[in-house]
Chain A
Amino acid sequence: MAVAPNVSLTLSNQPENVLLVRETLSGLAETVGVDGVELNDIRTAVTEACNNVVLHAYEGGEGPLQVELYVAPSAVEVVVRDRGTGIRPHIRSEEEDALGIGLSIIQALAPRVEFKDVEGGGTEVRMEFSTPGTESLAPLAEGGFEPPRVAEASLATTTGLALAPSELAGRVLPRVMCVLAARARFTTDRISDAELLADALVSRGFQSGAQQHMTLSVQVGAREVELRLGPLGGGDAGKLMANTDAGIGPVVEKLTDERRIASEGAFEMLELTMRDKR
């Protein structure tokens, strides 16, 4: 498998994030043409692995759930990682049966499964699914790749994601925005607007700067979604927001309530806020 994934998600282990992972998988499957029984196998096994992190990794508490998706020739690989106590201590309990079935399901559906300890604590489940006919996609980064960073304190409300290439991002980001806008209790009107915004960002976001991939963090509040895109090169956020061939300014202006360009050292962050003011 490639060194860097095609999608990387940094989430909290809240139960509603399992849906976000499932929608991301659907977007990826649509991009590479995996459907039917194969897609169902992947969704079911990955749901089990995520549910395990939701229910058992942090002993009732909260912590990070990290998911990476890789597309290779004739295979899709999914990595589900936590930083908690994970599977291993849990299996010592003879009473709890849920995980027992969960692991049996993962093993029955994924031709290759690997469980690893994560350095510094945590567990990693690596599942490889056979998807005849898929071709590999350009990964997020050629060299080393850092998963999108979200401060531990804001993890409960913030989703970090990195995506590449643009075709894949175009299928995944609108779905992710739909889930997050629904979580912010947007009406279906504004949910559709969030999807339109995602389309616009993907269509031009990859053209700005030397971005190999798109890194976003999305914070969900009450009837409010705040999106941070970056890091972009100096001046690139402005170009993205311009009313030119390469810009999406007018559309974004109609769809969002606030727009800011923030500097972060030599880089820029594009910050967009959407509200539902019904």
Chain B
Amino acid sequence: MTVTEMAVSTATRGARFVPGTSEEQQLFARHQQGDRLAREELVRRFMPLARSLARRYDRSSEPFEDLLQVASLGLLKALDRFDPEMGHPFASFAVPTILGEMRRHFRDAGWSVHVPRGSQERALKVRDAQERLANERGRAPTVQELAQYLELGQDDVIDALQAIQAYESLSLDAPRPGATDEATSYGDAMGEEDARYELVELDATVSAVLGRIPQRERQILRMRFVEDLTQTEIAARVGISQMQVSRLLRRSLDQLRALTDTKS
């Protein structure tokens, strides 16, 4: 097995964004002498590189316009610092410079917070669209339908679905407008003991620990696993989003399993 480091440098040389032509070499030479027109022409020529990097560098977390702006700034820095005398292709110098600029931007923006702004906004859009489409059609939408409706990529919709799963924020948990307080009345009407009794079917071992799951979660578990309602139907009854139902189901099943673990 051979390490093909050489192959890599060949690859960068083979790239389009290389001052291979004498015309570009001239532009770099004029730029170095302070020719503003030459600089503008170089920016124009290499902007596709900045654009392509902005597009690739985590597509889903920040608005593209912001990324492109930062990438363009990186391109300007690369153009000003590049030394054609060194004999390296411009791309091999520009790519790390532009990426470095984008990484610095993310660090400065305090980007290590869990869900970036762009993703958060998109998650809210996806959640709202999910509800609207479910209302219109009487069933939950597919990812493809959500993507088409919101003019987003399917990848973005799936990213958003995952982000919603990760949220614990109250803004997502708040009741939707127009939601009834059926969940509360529902629980009262059927009686707590009944709910507990029926849920034992779900798991022979849960009866001892079921009381330690909040009432609302018990009701949602019952609706899904005893009454066989879909998550969308449960969402409509309880007055929260389907995504929220999904999260509550996952959490309470997880709690039940953890509780039966400690019990045994």
Contacts and interface: CB of A to CB of B under 8 A. Distances in A.
Contacts of B158: 19, 23, 178-179, 182
Interface string A10-30: 000000100100110010001
B4 interface: yes
Nearest to B226: A254
Interface stretch (A33-41, A57-65, A132-140, A147-155): A33-41
B170 interface: no
B114 interface: yes
A117 to B, nearest CB: 5
Interface residues of A, number: 65
A96 interface: yes
Interface in B246-264: 246, 249-250, 253-254, 257, 260-261, 263-264
A104 interface: yes
Given A40-B58, A192-B242, A199 B253 contact: yes
B246 A87 contact: no
A40 B106 contact: yes
Given A37-B111, A192-B246, A195-B246, A99 B11 contact: yes
A55 interface: no
Name B's interface SS.
helix
Given A19-B155, A37-B112, A108-B99, A192 B8 contact: no
Interface string B140-164: 1111101000000011011001100
B203 A107 contact: no
Nearest to B202: A250
A276 to B, nearest CB: 8
Interface in B1-46: 1-5, 7-8, 10-17
Contacts of B228: 254
Given A100-B91, A199-B253, A244-B205, A189 B230 contact: yes
29 contacts: A16-B154, A22-B155, A36-B111, A36-B112, A37-B107, A48-B56, A91-B14, A92-B14, A97-B16, A101-B52, A101-B95, A103-B11, A103-B12, A104-B12, A104-B15, A109-B99, A117-B4, A174-B165, A178-B162, A182-B144, A188-B142, A188-B243, A189-B230, A189-B242, A195-B165, A196-B246, A196-B249, A196-B250, A196-B253
Interface of B: 1-5, 7-8, 10-17, 49, 52-53, 56-58, 61, 91-92, 95-96, 99-100, 103, 106-107, 111-114, 130, 139-144, 146, 154-155, 157-158, 161-162, 165-166, 201-205, 224-225, 228, 230-232, 242-243, 245-246, 249-250, 253-254, 257, 260-261, 263-264
Interface of A: 16, 19, 22-23, 26, 30, 35-37, 40-41, 43-44, 47-48, 87-88, 91-94, 96-97, 99-101, 103-105, 107-109, 113-117, 119, 174-175, 178-179, 182, 185-193, 195-196, 199-200, 203-204, 243-245, 250-251, 254, 278
